Amino acid sequence: MSFDVVIFDWDGTLVDSVDHIAASLEQAAGDLGYPRRSREELRHIVGLGMQEALEHLYPGISQREITELREAYAQYFFSRDTTPEDLFSGIDSLLDRLRGEKRRMAVATGKSRPGLDRGLVSSRLGPYFELTRCANETASKPDPLMLRQILDVTGVNASRAVMVGDTIYDMEMARRLGMPAIGVTWGVHSQDQLGAHGPVEIVSDRHALERVLFS
């Protein structure tokens, strides 16, 4: 599968940040007196835009409450920066190999623009990516708008690009656009959950991902 553009999700795919996201949201919600949600429920919404994630966790939540909860969450989440040590094992080597073969790379994420920009710098991954799209400036997954925008900028057909992600939202987003997707099992959702949304491959480690991308 030789793709011209490889599009990566961020949290749970490139960066081992899912538990930190869940813990930060749990602490913020507790501070503001929201009903407790299980860690599994909190992990499940990683990948959605924060607006959509909070509406899913707390049906009927008002916009004012969403703003307050987002601000409280940000204080916990940004209490530490993403570092190169937070990358999943071998991710930097994979990106180096893709860059060495002149593959174009992008990020499509449920993070906000300020959060992603900060992470791109502190993780040192920024130079790998030609362009990035965030949920707060386009549409939350599984709406395929951010993928469509990436294709528009790169001029590549959906069949010549691939979405690599760890959530059902990544898989479904690509499926709706007719774009191949590769599911990775080291993040949020299981192989069975990912498989229900039509990826062309599901991989369990970085070496398997390399075999798919470079076969």
Contact 135, 112 (CB under 8 A): yes
User: Per the residue annotation, which of 4, 9, 192, 205 is the catalytic one?
Assistant: 9
Cα 153 off chain centre by: 20
Is 11 among the residues known to form the active site? yes
Instruction: Give whole-number Cα distances, 61 to 7, 53, 102, in Å.
Output: 32, 11, 46
Instruction: Provide the H-helix boundaries in the chain.
Output: 18-31, 39-44, 50-57, 63-77, 91-100, 113-123, 145-154, 168-177, 191-195, 206-213
Contact 173, 155 (CB under 8 A): no
User: Per the residue annotation, which of 11, 16, 143, 170 is the catalytic one?
Assistant: 11
Active site residues: 9, 11
